[in-house]
Structure 1
């Protein structure tokens, strides 16, 4: 499965808004609550980013106005990109932690619609919450990495933004796909071995979901579809695995 195939799983999940709207509405409430909290933090970042950058670059106070403005403008853009990456991954991790029972219902219904072997129970709220917190921590590391790469002259901001999108998307895909796989008793090593054969699809799925999350209100509407799409991806990976 390649990149385009991975993006197609998200489209399949989005179609459930037409076919199963009541089911998809289950994922709205936790996503909405977390989105409000994350949006408040982003607004605070926008308000205080200039002060933060000025505090972090005192060495540029005596520079030429144009050079100093260029440096701090690039850093401002970089802070916003890193903040956006952190907000998206934080949103995903917290939403999965808060809304695990809702999203378990969604992926179970998708499993039932596909037939075959369907797990009797999910990973449990506590385990889901812990996985969500781990995803938030990885998101913080990703944001720091984006900031560090962005310090490269000329191309740093662009390279940092692209790298952040790819890394955060891959982390997101791995977390979403893990739910139906872990419910089948697969440990982390077994899940990694299975999905390693579908790197392109994982990347395509994760990057597309991540890109949708960057659109205002996109995360709220796409989150239930992402859970469903990840279930489709996991099932296809299981069915194509060597027996």
Structure 2
């Protein structure tokens, strides 16, 4: 249970870090804003045409006596939209990270440097386009896993009682895990860890991962919140990755980096 609190602490510390580094926060907002426009358009389309899709997929309900056919299709429409919302939460991070790869890499490196006792950050030996390709490929692989889980949860959600109580809770934990994987992929990929190794590392401390990812997933359900929390989520994921790897962190990991002038004055003294 201690790890649950530690995971949440990293989420908060990440938000505090970007709050103290306004310039990095401003640049890191741009990818989220672009992704938000795309997802809002997709969800609006689902809300408009979702009922028609359900009606087309359930012709057998045409002959049901009223109001059962209407109630059944209304329930399926709501579940379909909920599934779309779940997939949006699961994939928003992946799409935003692909769009904002250079922004978030730079942000993560700065967090690493501020958290490191010697002020240095691990750097990738791969060229930018190779990193972008690996990030996109791994995001697709995670999306496939998330989709499988989403379909499974959708099916289990049709079960009486369990589908309305246990399954939504399970869905939030699944969402939290995949969110944590996507966000920690930035600092971990920079260290040369592939997807399989990253998943093994995350599974080794599930409570820590859930403590970070689950409340973040809940927050991402609130419209527009994901855009403003994303930079801090990347910062928090970098701190989380350092913990998973057992890397030492300095006492000033959450404080702003000194300005060049201030550094020169300190040196002169």
TM-score above 0.5: yes
* Pair 232,128 (structure 1): closer, same or farther in 2 beyond 3 Å: same
Query: More displaced, 146-155 or 10-19?
Result: 146-155
Quick one: distance in 1 between partners of 2:177 and 2:3?
Answer: 14
* Pair 113,140 (structure 1): closer, same or farther in 2 beyond 3 Å: same
C-alpha distance after superposition, 1:35-77 (max 9, x if no partner): 1011101000000111111222222222232322332232122
SS of 1:64's equivalent in the other structure is coil
Corresponding residue number in structure 2 for 1:206: 213
**Structure 1 residue 83 corresponds to structure 2 residue 84:** yes
8 Å Cα contact 1:53/1:75 also seen in 2: yes
SS of 2:121's equivalent in the other structure is coil
Summarize the alignment of residues 1-243 of structure 1 with structure 2, pairs less than 5 Å apart.
1-116=2-117, 118-121=121-124, 124-239=131-246
TM-score normalised by L of structure 1: 0.89
8 Å Cα contact 1:170/1:206 also seen in 2: yes
Bigger Rg, structure 1 or 2:
2
Quick one: distance in 2 between partners of 1:128 and 1:86?
Answer: 19
Quick one: distance in 2 between partners of 1:240 and 1:27?
Answer: 25
8 Å Cα contact 1:97/1:130 also seen in 2: no
* Pair 115,127 (structure 1): closer, same or farther in 2 beyond 3 Å: same
Corresponding residue number in structure 1 for 2:267: none
Quick one: distance in 2 between partners of 1:102 and 1:3?
Answer: 29
SS of 2:63's equivalent in the other structure is coil
C-alpha distance after superposition, 1:62-93 (max 9, x if no partner): 22323223322321221121010111122111
Query: More displaced, 124-133 or 84-93?
Result: 124-133
8 Å Cα contact 1:89/1:168 also seen in 2: yes
Give the count of matched residue pairs.
241
Query: More displaced, 163-172 or 82-91?
Result: 163-172
Structure 2 unmatched ranges of 5 or more: 249-269
Quick one: distance in 1 between partners of 2:196 and 2:47?
Answer: 40
Quick one: distance in 1 between partners of 2:125 and 2:7?
Answer: 23
Query: 1:178 offset after TM fit, Å?
Result: 2.6
RMSD: 2.2
Query: 1:158 offset after TM fit, Å?
Result: 4.3
C-alpha distance after superposition, 1:93-140 (max 9, x if no partner): 111111111100111010010124621237622222222333333333
